[in-house]
Amino acid sequence: MTTQSKTVVLVNGVPASGKSTVTRQLSERFSLPYLTIDGIKEPFMAQFSEIDRAFNRKLGCAAYEVIWSVVRDAPPGCPFLIDAWFGFQPRETLVDYLRQAGVARVLEVWNAVSSDVAVARYAQRLGERRVGHPGEEYLPELALLAANAEPMALGPVFRLTQGSGENLNPLFAWLEDHLQD
C-alpha cells in the first residue's frame, strides 16, 4: 500500500446482511479503524423520543457526511473500513464524497444475502433496535431490496455470501493482498 494514498474498504450490503459483524472481524484482524452510519447516528437518535422514517433518513445522511469528513481529515496511508448500506443514496453521491475525501482506492466487501435471511435477521432484531429504525412494516421492502441490491463496484469487490456458514479466511487473504498493493 502506498503511504500517500487514501484507501477505504466499503463493507456494503442491505440492512441485516452481516456488515457490522464482518466489519468488526476485519478491524480486529487488520487493526483498522472503522466508521458506521449507525454508530454515528444512534447517539443522536437517543436524544429524541419520536423519530419517523424521514427523520431517521436525515440522520443517516448526516452520519454519511460525517464519515467522509473524518476520512477527508485523516492522514494518507490510514485505510478505513466503512460499514454502511451504500445503496440508500445515489451512487454519484458516494463518488462525490470519495473525491472530496481524497480517496484514491476503493475496495468493497459485498455482503450478499437472500431475502429470507435478511428478513429473518431484521425481524429478530426488531425488539433490540433504537426507536426510529423502521419496524415490521419494513420487512416486505427489505425482501425486495435484498433480491435486487448490487455492490457499488467502484473498485475490486469481494462477494461474501451471508447465511451459509461464512468462512472469512478467503476474505482475509483477499484484503491482505489488496492492502499490500
Is a pLDDT exceeding 80 seen at residue 181? Answer: no
What interhelical angle do 53-73 and 91-101 show, nearest 10?
30
Instruction: Count Cβ atoms within 10 A of the Cβ of residue 55 and give its class: 0-12 exposed, 13-18 middle, 19 or more buried.
Output: middle
Is a pLDDT exceeding 90 seen at residue 89? Answer: no
- Quote the cell numbers at residue 166: 461464512
Say what the pLDDT of residue 133 is. Answer: 77
pTM (predicted TM-score): 0.91
Q: What is the mean pLDDT of residues 40-50?
A: 88
Is a pLDDT exceeding 60 seen at residue 169? Answer: yes
Is a pLDDT exceeding 90 seen at residue 116? Answer: yes
